[in-house]
Amino acid sequence: MGSAVVNRRAAGLGLASLAAVGGLVACSSPSGGTGGQAGTSQAAGGGDYTIWDPYPQHDKNSEWVKLLETCGTQAGVKVERAAYDTSDLTNKALLAAQQGNAPDVLIVDNPVVSTLAEAGVLTTTEENQLDTSAIAPNLLAAGQSQGKTYGVPIGANTLALYYNKEVLKKSGVDIASVKDWASLTAALAKVKASGGKGITFSAIGTEEGSFQFLPWFWGSGARLTKLDSPEGVSAVTLWTDWLKKGYAPDSVINNTQTTSWQEFAGGGYAFAENGTWQLAGAEKAGFGYGIIPIPGKDGGPAPAPTGGEFVGIPVQKDTARYATSRKLVTCLTSTGNSLITTTALSYIAPTEQVQAEQVKRNPGLKVWVEAVKAARGRTSDDLGTKYPKISEPMWGAVQAALSGSTPPPEAMAAAQAAAASATQ
């Protein structure tokens, strides 16, 4: 969101040990490094309370850390904060829970929630009486597993289509005409005919590739439980045809979201699929740009996957600590502070009230609010920890189809067989 560098929170590079699904979709700053080490927890009713987050790029002088300290002061405790890269944070949280030394408050990328919940690391919002009534249901679903909710979303981002106004004008394309797959493909044909470049995206063989493919997959009407449905095959066929016709470059097979953005920022491409975290880069690109939601096959915004973190309360031996932890989570996710957190972290707020205020302050966020409202959690539909076992064969099928080694129907049939075997 804040730069052309995408960190591993955003689109899920952390599909690593213990099925820790990382989300590489969401943010704007480089990841890596750690903040201060977590302090030792003290008795309830005072002392130190530990908060772990995946924002190492935000130092002690940032608005985010200042808010953490303010919430601690209001709760009558001192906040000891540690910041880790997402994949590192997930593994540390699992290990700390096993050792009975979990932090008091844990902020993790939304696909990780189901992993931690299944491992018994997190308490439910019902147990700690956390109010989620104002949260958009589609965003809350990303933190739900087997009918229970394991945290409160701090914000969200997702994907949309950036477009280059100059390239479209030269090609005679009216952006208002782009409403579905057919009209988008027609626009790409005009761009190519005029000597321009069509669309760039990330189809790399990682979770990042699945993240970028999902809007087209879901936008076809397909479901993750049936990868080889006619709808699912049509989504892979769309991308494959774009490469065959020269509307998209062969480089998409190896592109990350960062490298595909760099292609778009060069000025030659008409469209790029990317996220909110590239807004600052778009402003610096040196050409006029606009943003539209990714269109569904038959029109309307396609559901894109949500990025963003959940604030949860890990299980503690000393249950008396929960009362203060609840105060900290409530403070961080309150309507009054939501504008601070979403601005500091470059997110769209999870409640309509704050979303409206964001658009009022910055009308350019309207398209992102619309995209977030149509978005869907990757682990939603009660997929939970099954999601990475489906996502990996899916991105493999996309790679096989785009490389020309396997036709889309056969590629998706093989992916479905592998996913079904892995999730039995």
Q: Could you write out the DSSP letters of every residue in 201-246?
A: ----SSHHHHHHHHHHHHHTT--TT-TTSHHHHHHHHHHHHHHHTT
Domain 159-304+383-422 has CATH 3.30.565.10: no
Q: Quick one: angle between helices 387-403 and 207-219, nearest 10?
A: 90
Residue 221 CB neighbour total at 10 angstroms: 16
Q: Indicate if the pLDDT at residue 32 is higher than 60.
A: no
Tell me what pLDDT residue 382 has.
84
Question: What confidence category does residue 45 fall into, taking pLDDT thresholds of 50, 70 and 90?
Answer: low
Q: How far is CA 337 from CA 296, 330, 341, 342, in A?
A: 34, 10, 6, 9
Task: Judge contact between 21 and 115, C-beta under 8 A.
Answer: yes
Q: Indicate if the pLDDT at residue 26 is higher than 80.
A: no
DSSP code of residue 157: B
DSSP code of residue 407: -
Amino acid at 162: Y
| 291 three-class SS | strand
Q: Indicate if the pLDDT at residue 10 is higher than 90.
A: no
Give the CATH class of 17-156+308-361: alpha beta
Phi, psi (rounded to 5 degrees) for 40: -75, 135
Q: Indicate if the pLDDT at residue 156 is higher than 60.
A: yes
Phi, psi (rounded to 5 degrees) for 165: -60, -40
Q: Are strands 78-83 and 144-145 parallel, antiparallel or unpaired?
A: unpaired
Tell me what pLDDT residue 247 has.
98
Q: Indicate if the pLDDT at residue 11 is higher than 70.
A: no
Rounded average pLDDT over 124-128 = 96
**pLDDT tens figures, 281-312:** 899 999 999 999 999 999 999 999 999 999 99
Tell me what pLDDT residue 12 has.
33
Mean pLDDT value across the chain: 89
Residues in the chain, overall count: 424
Its pTM stands at 0.83
Q: Report the alpha-carbon distance of residue 104 to residue 71 in Å, rounded.
A: 13
| 324 three-class SS | helix
Tell me what pLDDT residue 16 has.
29
Every domain range in the chain assigned CATH 3.40.190.10:
17-156+308-361, 159-304+383-422
Q: Report the alpha-carbon distance of residue 204 to residue 290 in Å, rounded.
A: 25
Give percent of the chain with pLDDT exceeding 70.
Answer: 89
**pLDDT tens figures, 324-373:** 999 999 999 999 999 999 988 889 999 999 999 999 999 989 999 999 99
Task: Judge contact between 288 and 166, C-beta under 8 A.
Answer: yes
Q: For the chain, give percent helix, strand, coil, nearest 5.
A: 45, 15, 40
Q: Report the alpha-carbon distance of residue 154 to residue 64 in Å, rounded.
A: 12
Q: Indicate if the pLDDT at residue 319 is higher than 60.
A: yes
What are the strands, taking DSSP E only, across 281-380?
Answer: 289-292, 309-312
Rounded average pLDDT over 210-230 = 97
Q: Indicate if the pLDDT at residue 29 is higher than 90.
A: no
Tell me what pLDDT residue 49 has.
98
Tell me what pLDDT residue 30 has.
28
Tell me what pLDDT residue 19 has.
32
* Residue 265 CB contacts under 8 Å (≥ 6 apart), including other chains: 4, 281, 282, 285
Phi, psi (rounded to 5 degrees) for 310: -115, 145
Tell me what pLDDT residue 38 has.
38
Q: Indicate if the pLDDT at residue 40 is higher than 50.
A: no
Q: How far is CA 341 from CA 202, 211, 259, 349, in A?
A: 28, 24, 28, 8
Pairwise pLDDT comparison (340 vs 41), residue with the higher score: 340
Tell me what pLDDT residue 6 has.
34
Residue 147: alpha-carbon gap to chain centroid: 22
**pLDDT tens figures, 72-99:** 999 999 999 999 988 799 999 999 999 9
